[in-house]
Chains A and B, each alone.
Chain A
Amino acid sequence: MRVPLSWLREYVDLPAGVTGRDVQAKLVSAGLEVETVEQLGAGLKGPLVVGRVLTIEELEGFKKPIRFCTVDVGDAGGTSQAGGSGGGTGEPQEIVCGARNFAVGDKVVVILPGGVLPGDFHISARKTYGHTSHGMICSARELGMGDDHDGIVVLPPGSETGADAIELLELVDEVLDIAVTPDRSYCLSLRGVAREAAIAYGVPLRDPALLDVPAHNGEGYPVRIADQDGCDRFTARTVTGLDPEAVSPIWLQRRLQKVGMRPISLTVDVTNYVMFELGQPLHAYDRSRINGPIGVRRAHPGEKLTTLDGAERILDPEDLVITDESGPIGLAGVMGGADTEIADGGSSDVVIEAAHFDPVAIARTSRRHKLGSEASRRFERGTDPLTTSAAAQRTVDLLVGLAGGTAEAGVTEIAAPTEPRVITMPADHPDRVAGTDYGRETVVRRLQEIGCDVLGSDELTVTVPSWRPDLSYPNDLAEEVIRLEGYENLPSTLPQPPAGRGLTESQLLRRRVGRALAGAGYIEALSYPFIGTEVFDQLGLDEDDERRRTVRLANPLDDTEPALRTTLLPGLLSTLRRNTGRGAHDLALFEIGLVFLPAAEQVRPPRLPVDRRPTDEEIAALQAALPDQPRHVGTVLAGARERPGWWGPGHPATWADAIEAARTVAREAGVELTVQAGRYAPFHPGRCAVLLAGEQVVGHAGELHPRVTKAFGVPERTCAMEINLDLVEASGGVRATGPRVSTFPVATQDVALVVDADVPAASVEAALRAGAGELLESARLFDIFTGPQIGEGRKSLAYALRFRAPDRTLTADEATAARDSAVASAARQTNATLRGA
């Protein structure tokens, strides 16, 4: 809402010398978000006067048509180039002009040498197009009046030649731009903002809606309201005999321009003006174009209406429409129809509509048709139902006064019976909400200032004004008191919560996992969860892969990414690609985040009430409508895991690093993962690990399939891991028990076992451990050897076995026996033979 300070002063006697910035500060403190204060005409300096065009000479031979004019500027003419304002000799001025939208005799705005236009544009007499131009004829844009640059400003014929145009056009002003929150609909009007300004400055308000209005008399234009829920109030007034030639006076046009409306025609301008003044949207119909009574009803299915913007709209049975005998003639509260609009040349007889519509109905219609207007903006936030008659009266008065019309005596005033809203509240309620002591007297005074009637002593009975549909509950009234007393004056106290239990195990685990991965050299990335479904092809997923089932958005930001991720890898891979694209080489990234897995069948959650706690069953039904959202951890690696340098060669990131990242995560949850060979997209079929916690698959790790690295444009041999942290957490959580530390000496035995090449090392180690018995402290694979000595298709695995007893020094025989038992077990379970045996 744009509020010109000059207009605001019409209703509030602001102290002399108060600037727009001052008013801004006061209103911000009262809760109006005044975003900017625009300085109109900043730097503007005269002489800027009304001129009358005396002669026009068309100059030929230039790239564009140019006019050489003489202009009568009254006394202002003939001043010297350096001259300031005032007294000239009265001689006509010779001025060159590039615009063509004026004729001899027109009144125009002329800036004379010595003047300065906004933007520090200094005017002097200068030679151009073969003539000396003593000044310039101005356009609206040059004057800072608006964006209109179609031509120069042509003033109404009655404008006085030589008059100061800065004053006439109110070119110097300040305009407050207020972002009105949805609850303060009344501030979408000068009347509402003036009320706040009056309270802020402690001065009285001249309420422009306080008008004498005639009552319904049955002789006005007939109106039939078929839907009182949608329209509980309708005022219709008729004005006849308007001068179709009449144009809006300068002051009216200027005020509309300053609030951001384009002047159109007198009748339309007046309805807009009154809407900005009082907050009540109005509509004017050309009476000669409406047939029979005006009606208000819901649209019939399939009905059509061409609105003022020229669009044909198919109406919904919920749409509230204005009708005549021919059918819909307007979308109520949103936009009028093209058929009954005021004709371009003006209409001589008009019917004025000022109504009150149901905010929800207007909001739905506006949204349904994607059609917003100044009217719908006000109706959907709630207008003052008691202002319709005053707004109609104000419109009638202006039309009569400005266009010579006659107000018909007939007045239609339809109003459903309504009671003002009454709130009862303990007088100390604002005190208790604020945590300070205002006292009853202050509370009552503040509520009265905003227009409430207040009765009672300890228990207040507060009748709220018709323009405040937002005030319904005691806390609404408390806010009014607290904001007017100043939020800045609230005390600052610190409540004492009961002792808390700190972070949950799950929250602690997440932090540990993040720290562990970062400690292992991974950098956290937080990707957007939006994906396009083509990533599943890039990942090489089977057609029936579960991960292809996604939660989809109805209104994605980017139509190519309409779904939510079911895996973290696409996001990590695109972050990897971005980094390599920017020149990074050795990269290890991780992400901890949710993935979104749709339920087998999508159900709509029930619409639950808000006037009570939902039952547990209702909450469960809401929950059941949501997708499963497990938390995953993913990593990707490319380049060197260890860089080469003066210390020696480096070590590329491999599938083994990816698996180790998964182990790192699991260990933070107290889980030792089991690793098995597997085949799972997007991994290399020979370099993919299935990760298990106990019997449950919790994730996969390994090197990516070469086709996948190619499809994502990431380095060859990129490795990755993804693990379901929720599952890992669920299988962990066992508190570690303190080991008994033996201080007896260790006995070390190395064994080299030869097995078939496809026997997993994990099986060999498991067999060794099983056979070694309780004396085994550790078994560590320290070498793998293949070669002709071992035989084709065979490999040798060398293990260091460490044996130790808790209570004695082991004898060599004991250690050897344990080793032999381990080897025998490996032989049984994996066909291993002791190398060299």
Chain B
Amino acid sequence: MSAPNKSYDPVEVEALKPDAIERMRADALAAIAAAGDLEALTHVKTAHTGGGSPLALANREIGALPPQAKAEAGKRVGQARGAVNQALAARQVELEAERDARVLVEEAVDVTLPYDRRPAGARHPLTTLSDRIEDIFTAMGYEVAEGPEVEAEWFNFDALNFPPDHPARETQDTFFVEGPDGGSESGVVLRTHTSPVQIRALLQRELPVYVIAPGRVYRSDELDATHTPVFAQVELLAVDEGLTMADLKGTLDHMVVSLFGEGMTTRLRPNHFPFTEPSAEMDMLCYVCRGESVGNPDRPCRTCSSEGWIELGGCGVVNPRVLTACGVDPEKYSGFAFGFGIERMMMFRHNVEDMRDIVEGDVRFTLPFGMEI
């Protein structure tokens, strides 16, 4: 590249002739259009706009023109360079878009690939169902009460109005803790229900008491499709002034609606438990057939054996003798209680057919229940 030539004939500069400028411009635009990729475009850019490009050289020649010719030549060269730069930029955008599109296509993956890199976890459905039941009642103002699983007989039986030697005690299939002499007269048992928690709640808490007592309980039944010696129970206890059996019924109705949906209801049948008087067996409407299978052989219901009702558990008005044993004045206070097994609830709420599946801890059973139920 040479320095500006100040000694040439200023009249005629070949490079600044209009057709020469026009050629340079056309050459540049053609090269830009012909650039197939960004690399080629870079070369084109250097060749047509760089310091040694014809238009740049032409621009440098303008200074040599007589003043009267400068303006026109300058305008002509400037317009050509502007057009080239504009075309370059446009082509640059165009080629970048093309490149981006190509790269993203090349980077595409099979998003249907399976991904079980880390095995999933789950809580046991008995835990989560218990949580859910607790949540129904804590939302109403109840609190969750708890107690030990190895329990004194006084809490498990005596205070609940099971007199010593009463046949009702034997119906409980109790596991007795071995005494120091090796016999069963230790006065300590594996709790047969969570009712001792009711006693503890009445002894520990200020009245009124509204508690729900979930927990593990024990009965000496062999494990089979419908029994397990270790099972989960939820009991409820409400002791306040003026509570009635109708309140019990309403509370049960509320629970089954919460667990199974609108339209559900419960039914009470007379029964006997030492710790309640009056006592009742509680059934809930079959949530599958809603009672429509009864007397309807065309639409049998497997869930309720076409009985229309499913037996849930026991309930009743707290026996005043239980209140007395806890130092609660039965003349002033009354209460109601109910209890049921969570396994059983789970079996029909989640269509589980065999108790053993619930207790054995097979991960294939537990996993689908996830975190909440």
Which residues of chain A are within 8 angstroms of B120 by Cβ–Cβ distance?
521
Contact across chains for B280 and A521 when beta carbons are under 8 A apart: no
The answer to whether the Cβ of A433 comes within 8 Å of any Cβ in the partner chain is: yes
A41-49, A51-59, A579-587 - the one binding chain B: A579-587
A626 touches B152 (CB 8 A): yes
B183 at the interface (CB under 8 A from A): yes
Residue A411, interface by CB 8 Å? no
| Residue in chain A with minimal CB distance to B206 | A498
Whether A610 touches B159, Cβ cut-off 8 Å, given contacts A491-B249, A515-B371, is: yes
* Residue from the list B117, B163, B278, B280 in contact with A475, Cβ < 8 A: B278
Residue A645 contacts which of B117, B165, B186 (CB distance < 8 angstroms)? B117
Do residues A490 and B122 form an inter-chain contact, with CB atoms below 8 A?
A: no
Verify if B333 is at the interface (C-beta below 8 Å from A). no
Question: Known contacts A552-B177, A643-B119; is A493 also within 8 Å of B188 by CB?
Answer: no
**A482 / chain B contacts, CB cutoff of 8 Å:** 245, 278
- Kindly state whether residue A149 has any CB partner on chain B within 8 Å: no
Structural contact, B118 and A487, CB atoms closer than 8 A: no
Contacts of B281 in A (CB 8 A): 33
Chain A residues with CB under 8 A of B317 = 433, 475, 478
Judge if A183 is at the interface, Cβ distance under 8 Å: yes
Closest to A360 in B: B165
Q: Which of B154, B271, B278, B334 contacts A607 (CB 8 A)?
A: B154
Across the interface, do A490 and B249 meet the contact criterion of CB distance under 8 Å? yes
Q: State how many angstroms separate the Cβ of A430 from the closest Cβ of chain B.
A: 9
Please give, as numbers and ranges, the residues of chain A lying within 8 Å of B328 by CB-CB distance: 613
Contact between B222 and A557 (Cβ–Cβ < 8 Å)? yes
Q: Is the interface of B mostly helix, strand, loop or mixed?
A: mixed
The residue in A33, A476, A626 that gathers the most chain B C-beta atoms within 10 A of its C-beta is A626
Interface flags, A611-636, vs B, CB<8A=1, else 0: 11110000100110111010000000
| Given A579-B362, A610-B159, A518 contacting B250 (CB threshold 8 A) | no
Find A586's partner among B119, B178, B244 (CB 8 Å cutoff).
Answer: B119
Chain B residues with CB below 8 A from A128, complex form:
none
Q: Contact check: which of A181, A364, A552 meets B272 at CB < 8 Å?
A: A181
Q: Is the CB of B161 within 8 A of A497?
A: no
The reply to whether B359 and A526 contact each other, CB–CB distance below 8 Å, is yes
Q: Is B151 an interface residue (CB 8 A)?
A: yes
CA distance in complex: A32, B126 (Å): 32
Contact with A along B41-74 (1 / 0, CB 8 A): 0000000000000000000000000000000000
Cα of A432 to Cα of B144 in the assembled complex, Å: 28
B interface size (C-beta, 8 A): 109
The one of A432, A500, A575, A627 that contacts B150, using a Cβ cutoff of 8 Å = A627
CB neighbours of B177 from chain A (8 A): 551-554
Compute how far the CA of A496 lies from the CA of B183 in the bound complex, rounded to whole angstroms.
Answer: 47
Select the residue from B122, B131, B182, B359 with max chain A CB neighbours within 10 A. Answer: B122
Bound complex: CA of A515 vs CA of B121, how far in Å? 9
Could you say which residues of chain A place their CB within 8 Å of the CB of B229? 528, 557
Indicate which residue in B208, B230, B247, B265 contacts A498 across the interface (CB closer than 8 Å): B208
In the complex the two chains form, is B167's CB within 8 Å of A182's CB?
A: yes
Contact present for A526 and B124 (CB under 8 Å): yes
With most chain B CB atoms within 10 A of its CB, the pick from A436, A504, A514, A611 is: A514
Residues of B224-244 contacting chain A, CB below 8 A: 229-230, 238, 240, 242-244
Interface residue stretch chosen among B3-11, B29-37, B134-142, B297-305: B134-142
Contact of A526 with B272 in the complex, beta carbons under 8 Å:
no
A503 located at the interface, meaning its Cβ lies under 8 Å from any Cβ of chain B in the complex: yes
Cβ-based interface call for B269 (8 A): yes
A401 at interface, CB cutoff 8 A: no
Tell me whether B180 and A602 are in contact (CB under 8 A). Answer: yes
A435 to B278, CA, bound (A): 12
Q: Is the CB of B154 within 8 A of A518?
A: no
Q: Are A500 and B138 in contact (CB under 8 A)?
A: yes
> B165 and A363: CB pair below 8 A?
yes
Q: Is the CB of A492 within 8 A of B131?
A: no
Whether B171 sits at the interface, judged by CB under 8 Å, is yes
Within 8 A of B (CB), among A519-573: 519-529, 551-557, 562, 564
A493 touches B247 (CB 8 A): yes
Q: How far is the CA of A817 from the CA of B118 in the complex (A)?
A: 42
- Flag the segment in B12-20, B90-98, B285-293, B319-327 that touches A: B319-327
Chain B residues with CB below 8 A from A497, complex form: 140-142, 208, 210, 238, 240
Chain A 466-483 interface mask (CB, 8 Å, partner B; 1/0): 000000011110110011
> Is B190 engaged at the interface, CB distance under 8 Å to the other chain?
yes
* B contact residues around A488 at 8 Å (CB): 267-268
Partner among A364, A434, A552, A629 whose Cβ is within 8 Å of the Cβ of B149: A629
- A435 contacts which chain B residues (CB < 8 A)? 244-247
Q: Of A474, A553, A564, A578, which is in contact with the most chain B CB atoms at under 10 Å from its CB? A: A553
Shortest Cβ distance from residue A440 to the other chain B in the assembled complex, whole angstroms: 18
Which A residues touch B131, using CB under 8 A?
511
CA distance A28 to B307 in the complex (A): 14
- A553 in complex: contacting residue of B140, B148, B190, CB < 8 Å: B190
Contacting residues, chain A, for B280 (C-beta < 8 A): 487
Q: How long is the Cα–Cα vector from A574 to B334 in the complex, in angstroms?
A: 47
B22 interface contact, C-beta 8 A: no
For the complex, what is the distance from the CA of A442 to the CA of B247, rounded to whole Å? Answer: 22
Evaluate contact between A478 and B278: CB separation under 8 angstroms: yes
- CB contact between A432 and one of B123, B190, B244 (< 8 Å): that residue: B244
Q: Do A646 and B113 touch (CB < 8 A)?
A: yes
- Chain B residue nearest to A585 (CB atoms) is B119
Is A381 interfacial (CB 8 A cutoff)? Answer: yes
B363 touches A495 (CB 8 A): no
Rounded to whole angstroms, the CA-CA distance of A364 and B166 in the bound complex is 9
Find chain B residues with CB under 8 A from A460 CB: none
Asked if A311 is an interface residue, CB under 8 A from chain B, the answer is no
- Contact indicator B271/A605 (Cβ below 8 Å): no
CA distance A488 to B230 in the complex (A): 33
Contact B188 A500 (CB under 8 A): no
Q: How far is the CB of A360 from chain B (nearest CB, A)?
A: 5
A498–B122 CA distance with the chains assembled, in angstroms: 35
- Judged by a CB distance under 8 angstroms, whether B203 is at the interface is yes
Min C-beta distance of A476 to chain B, whole Å: 6
- Whether B152 pairs with A605 at a CB distance below 8 angstroms is yes
Residue numbers in B under 8 Å from A436 (CB-CB) = 244, 246
Out of B118, B123, B268, B324, name the residue touching A641 (CB < 8 Å): B118
Chain B residues near A517 (CB-CB < 8 A): 121
**B44 CB to closest chain A CB, in angstroms?**
42
Min CB–CB distance B252 → chain A (angstroms) = 8
Cβ-defined contact, B366 with A553, below 8 A: no
Chain A contacts of B165 at CB under 8 A?
360, 363-364, 367
Residue in contact with B203 in the complex, picked from A582, A619, A650, CB distance below 8 Å: A619
The distance from the CB of B175 to the nearest CB of chain A, in whole angstroms, is 5
A479 lies within 8 A of B278 (CB) = yes
Smallest Cβ distance from A656 to chain B, in angstroms? Answer: 15
Q: Is the CB–CB distance between B184 and A555 below 8 Å?
A: yes
Kindly list 13 other residue pairs between chains A and B, CB separation below 8 angstroms, not including A482-B245, A524-B122, A645-B114: A33-B271, A184-B272, A433-B334, A507-B146, A518-B121, A518-B123, A526-B359, A555-B184, A584-B364, A607-B187, A610-B324, A619-B203, A645-B115
Residues of chain A whose beta carbon lies under 8 Å from any beta carbon of chain B: 28-31, 33, 181-184, 360, 363-364, 367, 380-381, 432-436, 473-476, 478-479, 482-483, 487-488, 490-504, 507, 511, 514-515, 517-529, 551-557, 562, 564, 575, 578-579, 582, 584, 586-589, 593-594, 596, 602, 604-605, 607-614, 619, 622-623, 625-627, 629, 640-643, 645-647, 650
Q: 10 interchain pairs (CB within 8 A)? A: A434-B245, A479-B278, A487-B269, A493-B244, A496-B141, A594-B148, A594-B149, A608-B158, A622-B154, A622-B155
